[in-house]
Amino acid sequence: MRRGEGPAPPPGFAVFYIPNDFHEDTAKMWNVGVQRELGWNTVVDVSYVGTRGSHIFRSFNVNVPLPGPGNVQQRRPYFSVAPGITTINQRDGAGKTWYNALQVKLDKRFSHGLQALVAYTYSKTEDNIATLGIHPTLEIRQRAPGVSGSKMLDIPQIFSASLSQSWRICAGSSGSAFMPTCCSPTKIKSDE
């Protein structure tokens, strides 16, 4: 039997490789914030939030055929060693992630329980985790020029606004719980 020839692997046969320096995932998170009352029942909150992930699990195919003419199978890096195996997954803990955000929140309380909240987040997420399940050193990862990592989770700007009203509900004059009326705390009566 010549090198590269041999029995075909059974159906569903999976090959994967785990390097000796495999580590568990690690995440470090921090934030710094400043809150300030502006007066007129208004508070502003400005915060920086950061996260770093290291040793993030990755799994990618190291036996992807290189682009070019000819037989696709023969262009696989490990074809000469294992011609019948198309997928060799490398599973390692070499992934890294970065997240940085500036968060701004404005909270205004009006009279009679009315409150307005406006929040804005400007952030950036980056990673070195392959998006298509192929080796991260290959140039065919289909990302935009100058963009690093997977952009599927990166939402750089988030704006939200809300308006809420608080009500004090008490039983109506008939005592029925199904016909509530608004009342102030001074009008609540006890049936003792």
Neighbours of 128 (CB within 10 A): 15
Domain ranges of the chain: 15-187
Q: Over the stretch 69-85, which tens digit does the pLDDT of each residue have?
A: 989 888 988 888 888 88
Neighbours of 102 (CB within 10 A): 13
Asked whether the beta carbons of 25 and 93 are under 8 A apart, the reply is yes
Q: What element of type H or E holds 33? A: strand 26-39
SS3 at position 130? coil
Neighbours of 1 (CB within 10 A): 6
Query: Model pTM greater than 0.75?
Result: no
Q: Over the stretch 27-59, which tens digit does the pLDDT of each residue have?
A: 999 999 999 999 899 999 999 999 999 998 888
Please compute Rg for the chain using Cα positions: 30
Low-confidence ranges of the chain (pLDDT < 50): 1, 4, 139-147, 178-180, 187-188
